Amino acid sequence: MNGPSLALRQRSLGDPATEFPLFPPLTRGCPKTSTDEIAYPLEITYDYARVDRRLFEQEPGTDIARWSPLLPPLEAPSLGEGGTPLVEFDGVHGAPRSAAHRRLQNCIYVKDESRNPTWSHKDRLNRVAVSAAVASGAPGVVVASSGNHGASAAAYAARAGLPAIVLTSADSPPAVQAFVRAYGARVLSVPAEKRWPLLREIVERLGYHPVSNQTVTHTGHPFGPEGYKTIAYELFLQLGRVPAAVFAPTGYAELLYGVWKGFVELRLLGLAGTLPRMFSCETAAGGPHARALATGAPAAVVELGASDAYGIAGPVGGHRGVVAVRDSGGAALLVTDEELRSAQRDLARQGLWQELSGAAGLAGYRQARLDFDGPVVCLATSSGFKDVGVGVERFPVLEDPTLEDLAPDA
């Protein structure tokens, strides 16, 4: 039942009547509706009438090809992405709640995306985006990223036998720099302002396929968010229903939009009757989607302050996040580093060690203080190993330890 891709065309988010062929992927946004101030992204349309509903009788598992009819053609091999667990989170205490307590209250769940091949959600996007590079016959892949996205693109390119160039910054934690370099890509640490002109030159002169944004407001890769739809499919099967709300760590909002689109498709296919409210959880140091929603703009660029949540802290927003929040009746939340640290600590105290950015979903849920008529999902995107400061702190050695050293106040 998971046969070939039923993808049809690229469609502009600036005007749904504006469509383009599926290839080549329009990696600089919609050429018709974009302006000098706002670039509009594209999404992919499918021949939904031909989708076999038995697709959703499958169990989730580690290869998003099980959803191939609802994805662009997967020409790049899998590294076993997807099939991540949904872990119940107790919002109050350290231990899971009792069964009796659970029946009384709706549950909070954590979707642990640190369980992907390069230990972040980005692998779902890169399976699809690197597939576009392969399908386009590109001689290589180029990405500008200081962390998860660069490493994931490098891993999928390596798997597909394509050379990769990663333009990174010197700001990312040393362990993450080793991570990005591990997969054999050409990695250049360059000043932030030099990344985008160099990326463009590599695309134009070497013909490399870009899996990073190249526009004034974010558009990114037109196929990328399609990979994130698989999170919605998995949640639907894992919960046996559509959640009431989804809280997502949000930088460019590709994740938020992709998950939203997945649920929209489930309703369109007649499999689900409801839609979740989508909450964009951005760092208070920036928050371009919160700004756009507050001002009624289709997208926004903001000043960026200091934050350790480097995985989601960026000045540039896009139209996708605005669509997901607006159409779902959700909200854009701005979480401080302090709120992120609190959420990160409490996730770890229940056995889930997340990167600071990865805890933004839970931090947003806690800040919102809303009641929902159904289960709530907080997306947790990445492993704690990738955080700023990991590996920096040194700990003392007790040369002559005794039981007294274990006293709570020792």
Strand ranges across the sheet with 19-21: 19-21, 7-12, 42-46
If we measure between CA atoms, which residue out of 205, 79, 75 comes closest to residue 132? 75
Pairwise CA distance, residues 90 & 109, whole Å: 8
Contact pattern from residue 390 through residue 409 relative to a copy of itself, giving x for each residue in contact according to CB under 8 A and a dash for the rest: xxxxxxxxxxxxxx-xx---
Using the contact rule CB under 8 A, the part of the chain among 112-120, 241-249, 251-259, 265-273 near a copy of itself is 112-120
Question: Measured from the CB of residue 284, what is the shortest distance to a copy of itself in angstroms?
Answer: 24
Phi, psi angles (nearest 5°) of residue 321: -65, -35
Residues in contact with a copy of itself, counted by CB under 8 A, come to a total of 84
Edge-to-edge strand list for the sheet holding 108-112: 86-89, 108-112, 376-380, 245-249, 277-283, 331-335
**Least distance CB 46 / a copy of itself (angstroms):** 26
**Is 88 within 8 Å of 96 (Cβ atoms)?**
yes
Spacing of C-alpha 261 from chain mean position: 13
Instruction: Give the residue carrying structure tokens 């997945």.
Output: 262
- Say whether residue 181 binds a copy of itself (CB under 8 A): yes
User: How many CA atoms are closer than 13 Å to the CA of 16, on its beta-carbon side?
Assistant: 2
Can residue 240 be called a binding residue for a copy of itself (CB under 8 A)?
no
Contact letters for a copy of itself, residues 363-392 (x by CB under 8 A): --------------------xxxx--xxxx
Q: How far apart are CA 154 and CA 364, in angstroms?
A: 31
Q: Shortest approach of a copy of itself to residue 252 CB, angstroms?
A: 23
Q: Write the burial class of residue 197 (CB in 10 Å: 0-12 exposed, 13-18 middle, 19+ buried).
A: exposed
Where do we find the tokens 């756009």?
292
Looking at residues 5 to 44 of the shown chain, list those that interact with a copy of itself (rule: CB under 8 A).
Answer: none
Quick one: which of 8, 65, 87, 275 contacts a copy of itself (CB under 8 A)?
Answer: 87
Tokens of 87: 């872990």
Draw the binding track, 251-290, toward a copy of itself (x: CB under 8 A; -: no contact).
----------------------------------------
**According to the binding rule CB under 8 A, does residue 114 interact with a copy of itself?**
yes
Are 266 and 231 in contact by the 8 Å Cβ rule? The answer is no
Residue in the structure block whose two tokens are 């659970």: 102
| 348 binds a copy of itself per the rule CB under 8 A | yes
| Least Cβ distance, residue 247 to a copy of itself (angstroms) | 19
Least separation in angstroms between CB 19 and a copy of itself: 34
- Binding residue for a copy of itself (CB under 8 A) from 11, 115, 121, 221? 115
The residues in 117-156 that bind a copy of itself, with binding defined as CB under 8 A, are 117-119, 155-156
Would you say 43 or 337 has its CB closer to a copy of itself? 337
Q: How far is the CB of 2 from a copy of itself (least distance, A)?
A: 14
To a copy of itself, the closest distance from the beta carbon of 85 in angstroms equals 3
